[in-house]
Amino acid sequence: MSAVRLTHIGGPTTLIEAGGWRILTDPTFDPPGRRYAFGWGAFSRKLAGPALDAGAVGPIDAVLLTHEHHGDNLDDAGRALLPSAGTVITTTSGAARLGGNAVGLAPWSSTTLERPGMPAIEVTATPCRHGPPLSHPITGDVIGFALTWDGQRHGALWVSGDTVLYGGVRQVAHRVNVGLALVHLGGVRFPVTGPLRYTMTARKAVDLCRAVRPHTAVPVHYEGWKHFQQPLSQAQREFARAPDVPVRWVPIGSPTDLET
């Protein structure tokens, strides 16, 4: 099973279909216009709605939730979807807050998705730091995910999660053979914290991809919110200046078949 169908719904939210599994990342389905608090005086407004409504996505077997405490990764409509998903995999602290069908993982711990007649998928949490050094008390726990199953041609499917480029996320290059990478961009900044970044710019993502060496990098988490500070056109120019990084810009709302 090497074929994967991705549907980028908007922001970080992506539907992954592989081997009969339907897996959703970071559900965000609220309409645009609302202002959200991100803690410590940071606010942002949602500028664009999802390409698909939550009701149009269909049944979900598992949700990969990089963190549950920021509205651009889990909003109200996304939260309402969680009980109907088979399993929600997130941080250990997030799982304790969510309860119910949530399973918590610490970085480099794993769980397995299993269902009769479908290939088992091992899900391993990978490290993230959602901001500059010493920002963890403000930004909280965040993880990425490496998904492996039998038949992958190029390697694991990796979701970077909301992270800056730092030593922890660089460990992925040494511990995971990555085939398809969903890389969170945006260069997030807030007026209250000035020039500090809370996710990667495209230039930093290029540096990470050069270390991780995915077969295909698919950028997500770059549009739809006021605090995303690097527009798509600028991100595309950065990747275009790095022909050694194999990137695929997946159209939002359009199912796209790729290999992992």
Residue 52 · residue 9 · CB < 8 Å: yes
Residue 127 · residue 144 · CB < 8 Å: yes
**Mean of pLDDT over the chain:** 96
**DSSP secondary-structure letter at 138?**
H
pLDDT for 22-32, tens place per residue? Answer: 999 999 999 99
Domain boundaries, the chain: 3-250
* CA–CA dist 147, 210 (Å, integer): 20
**Rounded (10°) CA dihedral 18, 151, 143, 197:** -90
Confidence of residue 39 (pLDDT cuts 50, 70, 90): confident
Which strands form 87-91's sheet, in the order they lie side by side? 102-105, 87-91, 62-64, 21-25, 13-18, 3-10, 256-259
**pLDDT value of position 48:** 96
**pLDDT value of position 41:** 83
**pLDDT value of position 91:** 98
Q: Which CATH number fits domain 3-250: 3.10.20.30, 3.60.15.10, 2.60.40.1230, 3.40.50.300?
A: 3.60.15.10
**pLDDT value of position 223:** 95
Burial classification of residue 41, based on how many CB atoms lie within 10 Å of its CB (0-12 exposed, 13-18 middle, 19 or more buried) = exposed
pLDDT for 149-204, tens place per residue? Answer: 999 999 999 999 999 999 999 999 999 999 999 999 999 999 989 999 999 999 99
Residue 247 · residue 210 · CB < 8 Å: no
**pLDDT value of position 40:** 79
Residue 260 · residue 215 · CB < 8 Å: yes
Confidence of residue 1 (pLDDT cuts 50, 70, 90): low
CA 125 to chain centre: 12
pTM for the full predicted model: 0.97
Q: What is the end-to-end Cα distance of the chain in Å, rounded?
A: 9
* Mean pLDDT, residues 121-145: 96
Confidence of residue 127 (pLDDT cuts 50, 70, 90): very high
